[in-house]
Structure 1
Amino acid sequence: MNLSFKELVDTLGTPSKLIVSSTPQLAADVEQHARERVGPKRKSSYMYRKRLEAVDTKLLTGMESSPAEVLRELGLATTFVTASPFADIARHWAHVRYCATLRQTPKQTLALSKTGADIVHHHKVAQSEQIGIGLALVVAKRILERKYPGWIFSSVDVDTTLAAGFLDGVGPVRQKNKTTMRPDYFLIGRHASGTTANCKVFVLECKGTHGSAYHSRQQMATASLQVGSVEVASRTLPSLIVASRLSVSGVEIDVLDPPGDEDLWSGEPEQFDELVVENPESPQWTSGQPTFEQFTKRKSDLLGIPQDEMLASQDERTKFEEIQKDLPVVFNIPGSGKPWLFRTLARNAAHTTLRFAGDNKAAAKFATPRVGTQRSLPLDEPIAEWYDSMIGSEIRIGSRDFVGVKYSMPILNGKSFEIFRGVEKELYERLRQGKVSAYLSHAHRLREEWQGRPEVYGRLRANNDAVSVGNDGTVIKLRIKD
């Protein structure tokens, strides 16, 4: 397949329809796969999964996205917190590696390109996982921002949050040991009006495959266990499971919506900023297998059997004692820890956004002490030249200025392929100063202004630029420079 760089950039910036589905039948099919996994081979870990429900179809209609948006979400979600001189190059690589992976079909739907499909198996596994993350974040944020108008949702890595939050027992996720699995991301939703500030949190598990619908449903069955491994006040958080099937004929995306407790924090904007600026405390919480009470509560939700009956049954207790060691590790944050979770997630979101723009120094102010001590290279002294900041470029899109990092790659005939990633300038200044409530208020105004000006995208495409601007003010811009 011959593809010029000009055609590539045009493809990256072209919005395409997303084929997204969520039905009661899908939930039933995935539930059947999960039940089939309960047995001698899988032990009984799947008895601790979450009950699955379909998403309201009104939240799924008319979704569109561009490859540039998928790359922006992927790059933002995989922004490393590691203090490394190569971290910014790695973020850049997250954008470049999959530039030629997605395209628009003649029916104007998003699909895997022939170039993206022409790879060997072990690269397909990495590709489906990474593109699955980008697509899942696009779809999940669309759903939640439609369900909660005026809210902005940011992705925060679950393992990073648990490690940063001083939870004992957070270790590497062993892919072959299904009892230690955790979900991929927290989606922290924040809303700031002139008088109040609110926060919600959802759990997101992202799946991707080049395989069949059958394989995708198996993945979603596994996800029903993963999204239930984090609890607040012994209640599961609301969650989304998003599974993408990559194909040259079209990307198909399935979504399920396990229920949960959604309230996290609310208060005055001043309190909002104070909580975010302060370092989280160091609670001594531990993880472990569920108790009999926790297990019967989850089983009651799954099977519709009154929990009191199971608690009173000696047979149930005996069965539980036989399988407890095979149940998943659960991280249970007490009800009093809700402000801690909000603070940790909000700080991580600010940390990620500033690092995405290349400002490592400002981002470091939002890192918890544990991140600062555990996620650095074994060097005698910090090297300020690379740790300080990579930020140094500024571009104008429409009537707004954006600051961030620019990379340029030489191509044929003296031209270069240029990628800029960053944050809208006023949003960046507010976030850098720790004024998160003001950042959110300005982000709402920017979103309304940007969405109301489709002619900006038209001019950019006429200039052969591919641009994606998120509701959080983050941006990626790709172009060919003479």
Structure 2
Amino acid sequence: MGKNAAAVLRDLVRPWDVAIHSTSGLAEGVIEISDADDRRRRDKNHELLRRKPGLHAVPVGDRGQSIGLTPWKLLHTLGRANVLARQGAGRGLAEHWASLKYCQALDGNHARFMTLSGEGRNPIRHYKAVQSGELGIGFALALAHEVLGRRYPGHSLSVIDAEIALRAGWTLTGKEDSVHRASKRPHFFLEVWKPGAPSKVVLVVCKGTHGKPAQVHSQLSTAAVHVEAVHVGRPGGTPAMVFGTEIPGNDPITIHLLEADGDGTLHLPAGTGEADLDDPPEDRAVVPGIDLAWGSGEEPRMVSGYHIRPEDHGWFRRVLAHADAAGLMAFTGGGEPTARYLSKRQGKRHYDLYTHAGTGIVQDIAYSVHGMDFVGTDHVFRLNGTRVEAFSGIARDLFTDLAAGRVEEYRRKAHDLRSEWPAEQWDTKWNGPVSLNQDGSVMAIRVLR
């Protein structure tokens, strides 16, 4: 018989350590897998895959030996990342609330390291490939926040679905053939930013497996193909991070990580002025393809992929900011506020179907968490037979700015508040787990009264 709901909620805020593996040996193992794949392709006269060169270990000072996480913080990270995902028939909140199926999937061992629980190891409850892929996103992005937070203190970090952002400029799918369209692309853009300064873009691919470390090597080799598909500025100069989370049946979970160096800064051409983030970015019809000789004066060398050139940096900064805003609004359950930040190609029609009540006469739902007001939406479901309520939203003042289209003001306020959100993950008055992100979003859960 499973735990009662109250015990499950308490377990959601128990902190566990997650081991981090990022070594020269890992990088060498990935190179060996990539070289073996190249040999097989040559033997079959198949085209070789282009992989991000120079993947190497992340210095321990930028990551530590492990990262401390609670299951609830992990699920918040996963929910925020997936809220605009275009997987299957699900859209919007259907993707976000799917993270709740892992409420009982994680536990820890006597050494304080996170593992799968008995529930998480149950193949009837969790399809393994889906579980490792989805949890891999949460673990990877949690560690990415840690690494980039150490490297860029005083900056904010936004996680943007790469497909949503790229669709503003490129047709990614369709019947028409394009020799330069890349089918393997980064999963996320991480935007490191602060008001009044140019953004920096880091490409990220998140993978996960229930297999052995050798499987992680294979996944990271494939991830190197994904991150090579997008170049920002001068070709070859875009930073990237590739993650492979090993989720064994009984042993501790381990996050494997490699990175490639680069600048990735969205510098604006001289004399163009700052990009107005309140201005909606227009859809563009950019022809796919990257000229690896771009800027060198040599003959063009076109390969498949997507090139964000310096003259497009201002436009792409607005694309990222609006996709970030769309994700935040979708996290609150907003239809119209989400749609205003997306173009038709980015899936605007999926959110135009209904209007968030918060923009009309009354709000959908508002709660106080840690003494602060949040606007959002809730989801009620049964946890081991007990009805529980999950709430996701954003701080009221920040919601008001985004609902009115004030992206610049939202970012200024959110950046100023980033260090003021309480870290405590249990709110006694709410009577349940709560997670607050620096972007102003909240996810909370409690037994329904």
* TM-score normalized with structure 1 length: 0.80
CA contact (8 A) 1:11 1:104 kept: no
Match of 1:394 in 2: 366
Matching of residue 287 in structure 1 with residue 288 in structure 2: yes
Q: Please, which of 414, 420, 430 is the counterpart of residue 391 of structure 2?
A: 420
Q: Which moved more, 1:100-109 or 1:436-445?
A: 436-445
Q: Please, which of 407, 412, 422 is the counterpart of residue 379 of structure 2?
A: 407
Give unmatched runs, 5+ long, in structure 1.
173-177, 298-306
CA contact (8 A) 1:6 1:464 kept: no
State the shift of 1:240 in Å.
0.7
Indicate the structure whose relative CO is greater, using CA pairs within 8 Å and at least 6 residues apart. 1
Cα distance in 2, alignment partners of residues 418 and 435 from structure 1: 31
- Identity of aligned pairs, percent? 26
Match of 2:438 in 1: 471
Cα distance in 2, alignment partners of residues 216 and 238 from structure 1: 21
Match of 1:303 in 2: none
Matching of residue 74 in structure 1 with residue 78 in structure 2: yes
Match of 2:155 in 1: 151
Relative distance call for 1:40 and 1:358 in structure 2 (3 A) is same
Q: Please, which of 310, 327, 330 is the counterpart of residue 352 of structure 1?
A: 327
- 3-state SS of 1:277 partner: coil
State the shift of 1:21 in Å.
2.1
- 3-state SS of 1:242 partner: strand
One-letter identity of the residue aligned with 1:398: H
State the shift of 1:399 in Å.
2.8
Match of 1:186 in 2: 189
One-letter identity of the residue aligned with 2:258: L
- 3-state SS of 2:110 partner: coil
- 3-state SS of 1:41 partner: helix
Cα distance in 2, alignment partners of residues 35 and 179 from structure 1: 21
- 3-state SS of 2:202 partner: strand
The root-mean-square deviation of aligned C-alpha atoms, in Å, is 3.4
Q: Which moved more, 1:2-11 or 1:250-259?
A: 2-11
CA contact (8 A) 1:402 1:422 kept: yes
Give unmatched runs, 5+ long, in structure 2.
176-180
Match of 1:175 in 2: none
Match of 1:25 in 2: 25
Match of 1:330 in 2: 305
State the shift of 1:214 in Å.
0.6
One-letter identity of the residue aligned with 2:391: F
Match of 2:178 in 1: none
* TM-score normalized with structure 2 length: 0.85
Q: Which moved more, 1:233-242 or 1:345-354?
A: 233-242
Q: Which moved more, 1:230-239 or 1:113-122?
A: 113-122
Cα distance in 2, alignment partners of residues 125 and 81 from structure 1: 17
Once the two structures are superposed, residues 250-286 of structure 1 have per-residue CA deviations (whole angstroms, 9 ceiling, x without a partner) of 110011111223211479xxx76x6222232344421
State the shift of 1:293 in Å.
4.2
One-letter identity of the residue aligned with 1:466: P
Relative distance call for 1:156 and 1:423 in structure 2 (3 A) is same
Once the two structures are superposed, residues 145-190 of structure 1 have per-residue CA deviations (whole angstroms, 9 ceiling, x without a partner) of 1211122212111122111x23145459xxxxx9621111111122
Match of 1:227 in 2: 227
Cα distance in 1, alignment partners of residues 171 and 92 from structure 2: 30
One-letter identity of the residue aligned with 2:404: Q
State the shift of 1:457 in Å.
3.5
Match of 2:146 in 1: 142
Once the two structures are superposed, residues 316-368 of structure 1 have per-residue CA deviations (whole angstroms, 9 ceiling, x without a partner) of x9xx9xxx9xx7x3112222111121111111001110111112212222112
Relative distance call for 1:403 and 1:47 in structure 2 (3 A) is closer
State the shift of 1:51 in Å.
1.8
State the shift of 1:419 in Å.
0.3
CA contact (8 A) 1:159 1:170 kept: no
- 3-state SS of 2:260 partner: coil
CA contact (8 A) 1:205 1:227 kept: yes
Cα distance in 2, alignment partners of residues 388 and 480 from structure 1: 25
Relative distance call for 1:85 and 1:277 in structure 2 (3 A) is farther
Match of 1:300 in 2: none
Relative distance call for 1:417 and 1:190 in structure 2 (3 A) is same
Relative distance call for 1:287 and 1:36 in structure 2 (3 A) is same
Q: Please, which of 59, 63, 69 is the counterpart of residue 60 of structure 1?
A: 63
Q: Please, which of 260, 264, 267 is the counterpart of residue 266 of structure 2?
A: 264
Once the two structures are superposed, residues 78-99 of structure 1 have per-residue CA deviations (whole angstroms, 9 ceiling, x without a partner) of 11377x9974551453132221
Match of 2:52 in 1: 49
CA contact (8 A) 2:426 2:432 kept: no
Match of 1:251 in 2: 253
Match of 1:95 in 2: 99
Match of 1:162 in 2: 166
One-letter identity of the residue aligned with 1:9: L
Once the two structures are superposed, residues 373-406 of structure 1 have per-residue CA deviations (whole angstroms, 9 ceiling, x without a partner) of 6x549xxxx6546899796221212231111111
One-letter identity of the residue aligned with 2:286: W
Cα distance in 2, alignment partners of residues 365 and 2 from structure 1: 43
Cα distance in 2, alignment partners of residues 291 and 66 from structure 1: 44
More helix by share: 1
One-letter identity of the residue aligned with 1:395: Y
Relative distance call for 1:7 and 1:286 in structure 2 (3 A) is same
Cα distance in 2, alignment partners of residues 81 and 277 from structure 1: 24
Match of 1:241 in 2: 242
Cα distance in 1, alignment partners of residues 448 and 171 from structure 2: 50
Match of 2:133 in 1: 129
State the shift of 1:475 in Å.
1.1
Cα distance in 1, alignment partners of residues 89 and 305 from structure 2: 35
Cα distance in 2, alignment partners of residues 198 and 443 from structure 1: 17
Cα distance in 2, alignment partners of residues 200 and 89 from structure 1: 28
